[in-house]
Amino acid sequence: MADNEGLLCTFEADKSSKIELLSDSEKYLILNKDTLDLFAPCCDRFNIHLIREK
């Protein structure tokens, strides 16, 4: 992914939550009609793709 695609976001961990969705703190955010894509800015890190259910 090129640096000019998406919005680079830095996330802060919620220490009170039992759900650990983001394992790293930086992701490129791309919002489409029915999807939210979170791309890692570097190699060997996870990408997350969330799809809205109807």
pLDDT of residue 52: 95
pLDDT of residue 33: 92
pLDDT in tens, 4-53: 578 999 888 777 877 766 667 888 999 999 999 988 888 888 888 999 99
pLDDT of residue 1: 58
Q: Across the strands, what pairs with 8? A: 28
CB atoms within 10 A of CB 38: 20
pLDDT of residue 51: 96
Give the C-alpha separation, 1 to 15, whole Å. 30
Is residue 2 pLDDT above 90, yes or no? no
pLDDT of residue 45: 82
